[in-house]
Structure 1
Amino acid sequence: MRAEKVIPILRIFDYQKTIEFYIDWLGFEIIWEHHFEDNTPVYMEVKKGNIILHLSEHHGDGTPGSRVFIWGEGIPDYHKELIGKKYKYNRPGLEKTFYEAISFTVDDPFGNKIIFNEKFDEEKHKNLF
């Protein structure tokens, strides 16, 4: 078996808070949204670079409090960008982890956590701490 991509589904409860967090603060873009009809829950795909998430208001689609672990590059710069936006509900700290990464975690308004990680490089990251 060879997977083409993995797309986590995260449970959400409030469309406006979702947009404020994922689009306005984290910088994802909405690829598509689906409603079965007016006044029904939304199911949407959001994307930032090659990170794709599905966000769902539907009962049974995902469990509040889920975690998504992401390896990437440019994590310190992304962290600095987010802190610079002064989002009042989230000010994640940047840390060096026991698994040799530079990391920060964001908590969405619905209890889900996204953990952004970059492999620690002594030379590249020497001025972070």
Structure 2
Amino acid sequence: MNRVVPILRMFDVALTKQFYIDFLGFSLDWEHRFEDGFPLYMQVSYGDCRLHLSEHFGDASPGSAVRIEVEGIAAFHAKLHERPYKYARPGLEKKPWDSTEVSVQDPSGNRLHFFESDKEE
């Protein structure tokens, strides 16, 4: 098996782009609509991480959770705090399952848990 690409539901394109692109630092790879005025389906990426975001009813349930492994979680956390985003100021948390995490919620209620393992391999 190879990469997993989660599909997350979105309701407000402008707020979703502000969150994923302006705040989290993802890049917009592409957008697709079957016709003008139809729901948007798009891909954003950050390094090897790819997420599909969809306005299509039934593509995904709002409020989903995704865990995304990150190298350099402290630096990622610091970058988030450098960006002006009034809806989130996430913490950097040590978890009892041997990881350090930054958790945020997108405008559609989806939860993203960015983590770095504290275990030595």
In 2, the alpha carbon distance for the partners of 1:9 and 1:78 equals 23
In 2, the alpha carbon distance for the partners of 1:98 and 1:79 equals 19
Equivalent in the alignment of 2:83: 85
**Corresponding letter in the other structure for 2:27:** E
More relative contact order, 1 or 2 (CA 8 Å, 6+ apart):
2
In 2, the alpha carbon distance for the partners of 1:94 and 1:86 equals 18
Q: How many residues align?
A: 120
In 1, the alpha carbon distance for the partners of 2:84 and 2:70 equals 23
Residue 102 of structure 2 is aligned with which of 76, 101, 104? Answer: 104
Equivalent in the alignment of 1:29: 27
What secondary structure, in the 3-state scheme, does the structure 2 residue paired with 1:109 have? coil
Equivalent in the alignment of 2:68: 70
**Corresponding letter in the other structure for 2:99:** A
CA deviations 1:59-85 (Å, max 9, x no partner) are: 001100000011221111000110111
Q: Residues 31 and 105 of structure 1: is their aligned pair in 2 closer, same or farther, counting only changes over 3 Å?
A: same
Q: Taking every aligned residue pair, what percent have the same amino acid on both sides?
A: 51
| Structure 2: segments with no counterpart, 5+ residues | none
What secondary structure, in the 3-state scheme, does the structure 1 residue paired with 2:28 have? strand
| Structure 1: segments with no counterpart, 5+ residues | 123-129
In 1, the alpha carbon distance for the partners of 2:99 and 2:73 equals 10
In 1, the alpha carbon distance for the partners of 2:18 and 2:70 equals 23
Q: CA deviation at 1:4?
A: 1.6
Equivalent in the alignment of 2:4: 6
- Structure 2 length as normaliser, TM-score? 0.95
From the CA coordinates, give the structure whose radius of gyration is larger.
1
CA deviations 1:38-93 (Å, max 9, x no partner) are: 01110001100000000000000110000001122111100011011131001111
- Structure 1 length as normaliser, TM-score? 0.89
CA deviations 1:93-126 (Å, max 9, x no partner) are: 111001111111010010001001111269xxxx
In 1, the alpha carbon distance for the partners of 2:84 and 2:27 equals 20
In 2, the alpha carbon distance for the partners of 1:121 and 1:16 equals 38
